[in-house]
C-alpha cells in the first residue's frame, strides 16, 4: 500500500524533534525575499495527488517529483501510537500533554476535491520531566508533508530530490486558513533532517498568507535557532516539503487548514 510510505516518513520526522520544536509567540512573520504571496491562480507544474494523497512521477512532467502526503507530530510514533511518539517515548510526558492530530488518520491522507486537509493541536511546551527547562526537544508540534523523491511501493524509500537538475526553482501552494500560531514551510535535506531550513527561516515563522503563496529557493534559510551559522540551503538534496505548526510555551496551538494547487515552479 502506498501509504505505508507515511510510516517511513514519520521515521524521519522523529529525528526532527531534536531541534525543530524551537518556537515562541514573539516576532510576527514578515515577507521573505524571493517569494510572492496573495490570491491568484496556480503557476508552475501541478503536483496533483491521487485520491489517496500519492503524487506519481507520471503526472509531474519534467519536475519528476514523486511521493506521498503524510501527517506527523510529536504525539505519534512511526507505528501510529502515542507510546512511540517523541513526546511520550523520549520526553516521558503523558499523551494528553502531547500534540494531537485529528485528521488525517494514521496511514491515510485523502484528497478531498483537490485539497489535502489537516486538523489538530500543537501542544503547549511544558517543562522537562523532573526539570524546569521547556522540553522543546520532545514537544515540537505537528504538521503535514509531501516527499519529493520516494521510490513508491510497500517498501518505498525516501531519497534526496535534485531540484536544480530538474529545473525546479521553488514551490507554490494555496492555503485556505493560516494557524494563528503561524507555519514554518520547511525543506529538510539529506544533511539537515534535524534542523531543516524553512521559508524566511531567520524569523520565527514563514510569511504564509491565505491564498496563493510562491517560494523561491533564495528565500529558504536558517533555521534561526541554530547556535552556529546555519548552512546554506541546498536545493539538490531536498527530502520533502513540510508545513510545520511549531509548539510554543505560551499556549497550545490549534490548527485546521487545507493545502491545494501545489506546484513546482520552473521560472
Residues 108, 111, 114: CA angle, nearest 5 degrees: 165
Listed by start position, the domains of the chain span 4-265
Give 62-119 pLDDT, tens digit per residue: 999 999 999 999 999 999 999 999 999 999 999 999 999 999 999 889 999 999 999 9
DSSP state of 83: G
34 vs 132: CA distance, rounded Å = 40
Number of helices (H), then strands (E), belonging to the chain: the values are: 1, 14
β-pair type (253-265, 115-122)? antiparallel
Contact (Cβ atoms closer than 8 angstroms) between residue 167 and residue 120: no
Give 21-39 pLDDT, tens digit per residue: 443 333 222 233 444 444 4
98 vs 112: CA distance, rounded Å = 27
The string of DSSP letters for 91-156 reads T---GGGS-EEEESPTT----BTTEEEEEEEEPBP-BPTTSSSB-TTT--EEEEEEESBB--STT-
Specify the pTM: 0.85
Q: In terms of Cα–Cα distance, which of 147, 11, 138, 150 is closest to 79?
A: 11
Give 137-158 pLDDT, tens digit per residue: 999 999 999 999 999 877 678 9
Can you tell me whether residue 62 is helix, strand or coil? helix
Amino acid at each position: 500500500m502506498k501509504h505505508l510510505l507515511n510510516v517511513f516518513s514519520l521515521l524521519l520526522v522523529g529525528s526532527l524533534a531534536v531541534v525543530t520544536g524551537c518556537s515562541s509567540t514573539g516576532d510576527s512573520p514578515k515577507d521573505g525575499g524571493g517569494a510572492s504571496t496573495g490570491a491568484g491562480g496556480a503557476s508552475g507544474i501541478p503536483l496533483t495527488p491521487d485520491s489517496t494523497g500519492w503524487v506519481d512521477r507520471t503526472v509531474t512532467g519534467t519536475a519528476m517529483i514523486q511521493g506521498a502526503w503524510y501527517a506527523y507530530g510529536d504525539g505519534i510514533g512511526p507505528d501510529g501510537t502515542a507510546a512511540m511518539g517523541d513526546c511520550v517515548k523520549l520526553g516521558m510526558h503523558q499523551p494528553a500533554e502531547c500534540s494531537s492530530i485529528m485528521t488525517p488518520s494514521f496511514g491515510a491522507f485523502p484528497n478531498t476535491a483537490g485539497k489535502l486537509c489537516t486538523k489538530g493541536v500543537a501542544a503547549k511546551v511544558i517543562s522537562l520531566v523532573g526539570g524546569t527547562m521547556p522540553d522543546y526537544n520532545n514537544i515540537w508540534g505537528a504538521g503535514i508533508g509531501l516527499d519529493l523523491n520516494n521510490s513508491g511501493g510497500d517498501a518505498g524509500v525516501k531519497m534526496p530530490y535534485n531540484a536544480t537538475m530538474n529545473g525546479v526553482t521553488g514551490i507554490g501552494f494555496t492555503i485556505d486558513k493560516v494557524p494563528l500560531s503561524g507555519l514554518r514551510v520547511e525543506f529538510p535535506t539529506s544533511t539537515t533532517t534535524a534542523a531543516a531550513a524553512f521559508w524566511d527561516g531567520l524569523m520565527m515563522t514563514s510569511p504564509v498568507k491565505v491564498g496563493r503563496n510562491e517560494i523561491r529557493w533564495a528565500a529558504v534559510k536558517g533555521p534561526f535557532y541554530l547556535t552556529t551559522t546555519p548552512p546554506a540551503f541546498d536545493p539538490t538534496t531536498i527530502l520533502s516539503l513540510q508545513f510545520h505548526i511549531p509548539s510554543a510555551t505560551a499556549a497550545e496551538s490549534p490548527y485546521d487548514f487545507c493545502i491545494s494547487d501545489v506546484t513546482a515552479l520552473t521560472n
